[in-house]
């Protein structure tokens, strides 16, 4: 039995909540009466409730995020129905802003906003000693990082073997990009470096090899960055994998000298570009040297073994389809391994809403609060770009069409792929549940229809990609079937034209 349960609904099992482990690490004498119970958003609410109640807790704390707020509300509604005496405490970014207006609060006894690492402990202590506060919404005071007990020893051996380990060498961000909650931070605050590295060494000695840094600006202070990179270089082995979010226009020579030392399969860089449109950048208070960013991306691609994941955001104030296409094309020719096509979301608390009236921003009232239209992009176009993003993940980012894609895309890769997007959706009406074999078939058909002059080259490259995918069955048989389908479709089209002419 546990008096306190710390819980959240992760997007996937592979994700282990760093936030819950921070709360657990700082519960002091209450820690022995507390347990962490994590679930995924795919687990049925009623099953989650049953597992939570097995421990007969007095308090349950939930971490609420944009990806789990609907599912968490379903759990809370049932939990309060069958066990109304349990005190429910909510925290996390999704309930830390615009708090009073949120319906999920109907199921909560308390909401702790902001950094709750220390304030959650005090609230639990007050509840258990019958000194619970009268107010429902409690605003956390700023936390001094030196005052925190670090959470890393509370990753279990099972976590180390099967899950991503989230770590942070700093908190906060000095930049003010208005689509991001980090724009509310005053600056970036580092943890004491040696203390942090000692914790990383302990994790490493326990067998951890997969480290995902959640720092918003990992390469902000190069001296610290170099010490962390050298720490891992000294412990290099075949299984080590490091993920960092980096600033694209800040890659000095000292850092380059270290990056080239990392072998293939070790580094992944998430690089936020968002847009190359300088006018849009000024609207969202984003400072970025575009030419330096592009040069650095190409340098990383050509001189290191890092896997480069670059981000764009569609729907930003003042961004048209045409200007976004230019950003996409420029980024495509920088040759990152992946281009993540994000759609602007209205994160509660983010300053992006100051543009609502000027740019007629219209956001989905339901999670994930994605933009539906604005004065530059109508709803229909927004839907087309949503489909583009989905198909790009399946074809462009998956790595399964690396020989095929260059034979499809010309000097205007955005519009070429948009044509492919429109064709596939017109053919299938689907953006999900398209199996890989069917996808190869659809790409072959689309190219025959849209780019007939490239069809032979695409078929040859598709055969290579199909073989590499290790799908069962012969590609030649698939290609013949595809060609037959295309031929039949062309014959039917000619027949219809002749019939109309006769009529």
Length of the chain: 503
Average pLDDT on 221-241 reads 97
pLDDT of 102 reads 87
pLDDT tier at 503, thresholds 50, 70, 90: very low
Residue 392 binned pLDDT confidence (cut-offs 50, 70, 90): very high
- Residue 250's contacts (CB-CB under 8 Å, 6 or more residues apart) are 219, 220, 222
Q: In the prediction, which pLDDT does 497 show?
A: 47
For the cut 80, the answer to whether the pLDDT of residue 416 exceeds it is yes
For the chain, report the end-to-end CA distance as a whole number of angstroms.
81
Please report which confidence band the pLDDT of residue 474 belongs to, taking 50, 70 and 90 as the band edges: confident
pTM: 0.91
Q: Name residue 139's beta-bridge partners.
A: 113
pLDDT of amino acid 475: 77
Residue 362 has pLDDT above 60, yes or no: yes
Give percent above pLDDT 70 in the chain: 94
Cβ(94)–Cβ(66) under 8 Å?
Answer: yes
Nearest to 267 by CA among 210, 203, 226, 216: 210
Any idea which of 90-99, 159-168, 452-461 has the lowest mean pLDDT? Answer: 452-461
Q: Where are the alpha helices (DSSP H) in 317-470?
A: 321-332, 356-359, 379-392, 405-408, 413-428, 436-450, 455-469
**CB of 34 closer than 8 Å to CB of 4:** yes
More confident of the two residues 455 and 148: 148
- Residue 481's pLDDT band, with cuts at 50, 70 and 90, is low
| Selected residue with higher pLDDT from 101 and 91 | 91
Over residues 92-102, the mean pLDDT reads 92
Class for the domain spanning 155-377: alpha beta
From-to residues of CATH 3.40.50.280 in the chain:
4-143
DSSP three-state, residue 403: coil
Q: Residue 308: pLDDT above 90?
A: yes
Q: Using 50, 70 and 90 to split pLDDT, how confident is the model at 489?
A: very low
pLDDT of residue 133: 96
Decide if pLDDT at 126 tops 80.
yes
447 vs 458: CA distance, rounded Å: 8
Neighbouring residues of 294: CB distance < 8 A, sequence distance ≥ 6: 276, 330, 331, 334
pLDDT, residue 139, reads: 96
Q: Among all chains, which residue has been given the structure tokens 């480069």? A: 308
**Residue 479: band (very low, low, confident or very high) from pLDDT cuts 50, 70, 90:** low
Distance in angstroms (rounded) separating the CA atoms of residues 279 and 423:
32
Q: Provide the mean pLDDT of the chain.
A: 93
Domain spanning 4-143: CATH 3.40.50.280:
yes
pLDDT the model gives residue 478: 67
Shortest CA distance to 175 belongs to which of 245, 267, 93, 277?
Answer: 245
Long-range contacts of 298-301 (CB under 8 A, 24+ apart): 298/334, 298/335, 299/251, 299/256, 300/251, 300/259, 300/269, 301/334, 301/335, 301/336
Question: Span 97-116, mean pLDDT?
Answer: 93
The residue whose two tokens read 């207006």 is: 101
Low-confidence winner among 44-53, 216-225, 259-268, 479-488 (lowest mean pLDDT): 479-488
Where does the chain hold its CATH 3.80.30.20 domain(s)? 155-377
Instruction: Give the whole-angstrom CA distance, residue 277 versus residue 113.
Output: 35
Task: Give me the pLDDT at residue 482, please.
Answer: 54
Quick: pLDDT tens for 329-346. Answer: 999 999 999 999 999 999
Range list of H helices, 90-192: 119-128, 157-162
| Crossing angle of helices 413-428 and 379-392, rounded to 10° | 100
**Which string of b and e fits 232-269 if b means at least 16 CB within 10 Å?**
beeeeeeebebbbbbbbbbbeeeeeebbeebeeebbbb
Per the CB < 8 A criterion, the answer to whether 387 and 418 are in contact is no
Section 253-269 average pLDDT: 97
384 to 395, 416, 422: CA distances (angstroms): 16, 13, 7
Average pLDDT over residues 451-469: 90
What's residue 485's pLDDT?
A: 47
pLDDT at res. 346 = 96
Give residue 120's pLDDT band: very low, low, confident or very high (50, 70, 90): very high
Residue 501 has pLDDT above 60, yes or no: no
- Please state the rounded mean pLDDT for residues 195-203: 98
| pLDDT bucket at 35, cuts 50 / 70 / 90 | very high
Q: How confident is the model at residue 161 (pLDDT cuts 50, 70, 90)?
A: very high
Across 76-90, average pLDDT: 98
Confidence of residue 484 (pLDDT cuts 50, 70, 90): low
- At 37, give phi and psi (nearest 5°): -130, 110
pLDDT digits over 9-21, tens only? Answer: 999 999 999 999 9
Ranges 3-12, 165-174, 182-191, 469-478: which has the least confidence: 469-478
Question: What pLDDT, on a 0 to 100 scale, did the predictor assign at position 492?
Answer: 46
Of 474 and 405, the one with more pLDDT:
405
């Amino acid at each position: 039995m546990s008096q306190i349960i710390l819980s959240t609904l992760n997007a996937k099992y592979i994700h282990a909540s760093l936030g819950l482990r921070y709360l657990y690490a700082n519960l002091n004498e209450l820690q022995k009466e507390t347990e962490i119970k994590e679930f995924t958003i795919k687990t049925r609410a009623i099953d989650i409730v049953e597992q939570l109640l097995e421990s007969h807790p007095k308090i349950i704390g939930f971490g609420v995020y944009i990806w789990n707020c609907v599912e968490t509300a379903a759990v809370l509604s049932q939990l309060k129905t069958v066990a109304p005496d349990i005190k429910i405490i909510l925290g996390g970014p999704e309930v830390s802003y615009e708090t009073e207006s949120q319906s999920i609060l109907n199921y909560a006894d308390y909401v702790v906003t902001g950094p709750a690492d220390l304030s959650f402990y005090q609230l639990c202590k007050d509840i258990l000693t019958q000194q619970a506060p009268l107010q429902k919404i409690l605003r956390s005071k700023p936390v001094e990082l030196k005052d925190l007990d670090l959470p890393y020893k509370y990753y279990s051996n099972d976590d180390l073997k099967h899950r991503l380990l989230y770590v942070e060498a700093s908190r906060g961000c000095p930049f003010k990009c208005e689509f991001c909650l980090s724009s509310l931070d005053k600056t970036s605050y580092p943890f004491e470096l040696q203390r942090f590295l000692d914790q990383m060494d302990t994790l490493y000695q326990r067998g951890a090899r997969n480290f995902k840094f959640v720092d918003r600006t990992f390469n902000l202070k190069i001296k610290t960055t170099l010490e962390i990179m050298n720490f891992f270089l000294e412990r290099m082995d075949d299984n080590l994998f490091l993920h960092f979010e980096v600033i694209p226009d800040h890659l000095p020579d000292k850092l380059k000298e270290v990056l080239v030392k990392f072998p293939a399969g070790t580094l992944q860089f998430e690089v936020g570009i968002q847009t190359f449109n300088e006018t849009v950048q000024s609207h969202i208070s984003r400072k970025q040297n575009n030419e330096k960013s592009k040069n650095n991306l190409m340098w990383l691609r050509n001189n290191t073994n890092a896997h480069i994941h670059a981000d764009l955001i569609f729907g930003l104030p003042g961004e048209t389809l045409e200007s976004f296409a230019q950003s996409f094309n420029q980024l495509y020719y920088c040759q990152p391994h992946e281009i993540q096509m994000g759609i602007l979301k209205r994160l509660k608390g983010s300053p992006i809403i100051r543009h609502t009236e000027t740019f007629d921003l219209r956001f989905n009232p339901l999670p994930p609060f994605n933009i539906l239209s604005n004065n530059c992009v109508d709803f229909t176009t927004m839907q087309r770009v949503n489909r583009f993003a989905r198909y790009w993940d399946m074809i462009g980012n998956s790595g399964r069409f690396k020989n095929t894609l260059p034979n499809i895309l010309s000097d205007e890769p955005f519009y070429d792929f948009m044509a492919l997007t429109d064709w596939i959706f017109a053919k299938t009406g689907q953006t999900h549940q398209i199996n890989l074999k069917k996808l190869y078939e659809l790409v072959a058909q689309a190219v025959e229809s849209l780019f007939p002059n490239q069809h032979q080259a695409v078929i040859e490259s598709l055969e290579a990609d199909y073989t590499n995918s290790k799908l069962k069955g012969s590609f030649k048989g698939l290609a013949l079937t595809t060609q037959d389908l295309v031929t039949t479709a062309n014959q039917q089209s000619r027949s219809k034209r002749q019939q109309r002419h006769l009529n």
